Structure 1
Amino acid sequence: MTTSSFDRWLHRYAVFTAMIALLPIGMGALVTSLDAGMAFMDWPTSDGQNMFFYPWLRDFHANRDKFVEHGHRLAGSLIGMLSIGLVVLTVRREPRRWVRGLSIAILAAVVLQGLLGGFRVIADARVAALVHGLFASLIFATITVFVLATGSKWQRGGCDSLPTKPISSGMKSLAIATPLAIFGQSLLGGLVRHLGLALHEHLGGAILATALTVAVIVASCRSGQAWLRSASIGLSMVLLFQLVLGAGAWATRFGFPPAGYVAVQQAPEQILFRTAHAVAAMFVLMMSVQLAVRVLRLNWLGSGVRFERAVSIPVQTSTLETCSKFAGGPA
């Protein structure tokens, strides 16, 4: 695959899949905010009816919790179908074995995610809901990596020519540590949302994750690589948005005495801020993963160029000596 002949349709389908993945993510976050995870006591049926024939729209006014939970189930089914299509399209059109394997891994993860959601209902286990939400963020990030790998800029790392040197070890370490810290912060946030635990740990984790994220943003902007700089700009935007949403989620849940604001549980503004905060966390993780993958890709390309240059000189010298021998020149 080259920058001029990359498969546009596969890439577009992957982008579409990533966009549709936001439906079950958003609906799932809303389910948690409404505490509607047990709106139905059965799975995969809904009140004993086939999931796809359940009169879903009837619940729009009659039962808000059932409407949201069933919408989450339908959205999950949709992303499952799209994941099957992604595998079929990738196997038929993508020559790179690891990309084909990635598409299969995405499908397997989506299937496992559906089973986790079902287990959460059958066992009525909030811990399973926590794992379900965290796994969704990993799936979303993986789909966007697939989008990146099938894009036109992957071949040369967003450059007109191949990078001439690998990325520094410090930059690589920072790029890898940042999504790990953000995922840990998401875990702490999940404990707050699902189990009412680790509130102060979540605040401390936010400081660490923000510090690492700012550091990797600054390092990316100073790297001189446009591919990294564009990702760092996106990461800085979602980080700022997430911090604002976090403050809003805190105020609407616990109140803000200096302003005389008293939190009302399950008020519309509380549901809105808490849901948006959970979804934005997945975007922060996704963008940090995107940046890390770009760093590793540029490092791999730079290392490859350096290796080729290192081995080219002795090969050329050996060839000249051999030609000289055949021509009767000095040995």
Structure 2
Amino acid sequence: MDSSPPDRRTADYKPALAWFAALGAAWVFVLVVLGAFTTSIGAGMVFPDWPLSNGSLNPTGWLEDLAMFAEHSHRLSAGVMSTITLVLAVWLWRTESRGWLRKLGLFAVALVLFQALVGGLRVLLDHQHVEMVNTSVGRLFAMLHACLAQLFVCTLIAIAVACSRSWRSRSLPVTAGLRRAGLVCCALIFVQLGIASVMRHSFAGLAIPTFPYSTIQGDWLPDFWNFRIGINFAHRVMAVVITGALLWFFVQIRRNRALSIGIQLGASVMLSLLALQIMLGAAVIWTQRSPHMTTGHVLVGALTLGVTFWLTWLAHRDLIEEKSAA
């Protein structure tokens, strides 16, 4: 399998590869936006078949019908994403001497293909109902599809950062506490996005129709409980927990004066995205789940994870490279 001569592989900065990896990391957010908008307007099942749309790569009327346009655009952008990921993995395999980075490229390919399969099963199995959880098999796959999207975002960011000039040229001495704070924050945000996925695909986004209170009487706790109210309330509680965790991470970064101005600014961007995400979350409720507000909320959630993961990945730079060189 290893057909590339060893002398063609180096760990040097490769500008073209770095820019292509950055393109992949940017394009994934296009995919997130299109997927979020498709779900927000209820267009996920506008085409009952897969991988084609109404049996065609160019279904009739998809440019005139908003629901068809949203879903088919999402499928086309997923095809572009798969191509970018495959090219990136081959490029890494042929030119990159760091074995862990080559393997990460292969993992990205496996992940994007599995993600496509899960997206297809969401369509093909939507007619099968699961009585125990009162939802369809397709919607269960839709929840998994949304969670895998966040993992894919982090994977592409990791590759793009590892290909960058700054990663190769600059050591980043950080404390174990800062690295630990970043890992905790990434885990919490990932759990939160998983909860959000279950909430969206369980039609629980307005199960608690008031904000910031849980009742129109101004109570913090709901008057009664069921699954949808519980998952909605869990989403709100996690938002509070994540706010505290990101503030902790921000303080850890600001205390480390050795970190570059870029990382310091990144920490400020992270908190700004958090504030914007909270405002969008409130707007989703106040506008009765406006598709544009809901799509923005999903996008900013993914961006918040992306920036937090970027900072955490940079904090682990020296550990990763030292282990690779050993």
Shorter-chain TM range is 0.7 to 0.9
Secondary structure of the residue that 2:158 maps to in structure 1?
helix
Q: Deviation of residue 298 (structure 1)? A: 4.1
Find the counterpart in structure 2 of residue 54 from structure 1: 59
- Counterparts of 2:40 and 2:246 in 1: how far apart (Å)? 27
Asked if structure 2 preserves the Cα contact closer than 8 Å seen for 1:102 and 1:146, the reply is yes
Aligned twin of 1:86 = 88
Structure-2-length-normalised TM-score: 0.79
| Aligned with 2:119 (options 117, 140, 150) | 117
User: Which of 66, 69, 89 lines up with 1:67 in the alignment?
Assistant: 69
Q: Does residue 249 of structure 1 match 2:289?
A: no
Q: One-letter code of the match for 1:37? A: G
Amino acid at match of 2:86: I
Residues matched between the structures, number: 276
Structure 1 match to 2:164:
151
Cα deviation, residue 48, structure 1: 2.2
Report the counterpart of residue 8 of structure 1 in structure 2. Answer: 15
Report the alpha carbon displacement of residue 24 of structure 1 after superposing the two structures with TM. 1.8
Residues 131 and 300 of structure 1, relative CA distance in 2, 3 Å threshold? closer
Equivalent residue in structure 2 for 1:294, among 314, 320, 324: 314
Counterpart code for 1:54: P
How many angstroms does 1:299 deviate by?
A: 5.2
Q: 1:251 to 1:229 in 2, by over 3 A?
A: same
Distance 1:121 1:45 in 2: 11
Structure 2 partner of 1:28? 35
1:245 is paired with a residue whose SS is: helix
Q: Distance in 2 between matches of 1:181 and 1:144?
A: 18
What's the Cα RMSD here? Answer: 2.0
Deviations 1:10-46 (A, max 9, x none): 0000111122222221110011101111111111121
Selected match of 1:99 from 71, 92, 101: 101
1:34, 1:271 within 8 Å by CA — same for their partners in 2?
yes
1:285 is matched with 305
CA-to-aligned-CA distance 1:160-212 (integer Å, 9 cap, x gap): xx45xx53332222111001001111112112211123111110000001110
Structure 2 unaligned blocks of 5 or more: 1-9, 127-137, 205-227
Identity rate of aligned residues, in percent? 25
Higher Rg: 1
Write out per-residue CA displacement over residues 242-288 of structure 1, whole angstroms, 9 at most, x where no aligned residue: 122112112112xxxxxxxxxxx6xxxx1100011011111111111
Q: Secondary structure at the match of 1:54?
A: coil
Cα separation, 1, equivalents of 2:160 and 2:237? 33
User: 2:157 touches 2:310 (CA, 8 Å); kept in 1?
Assistant: yes
Which residue does 1:201 correspond to in 2? 234
Q: Which has the higher helix share?
A: 1
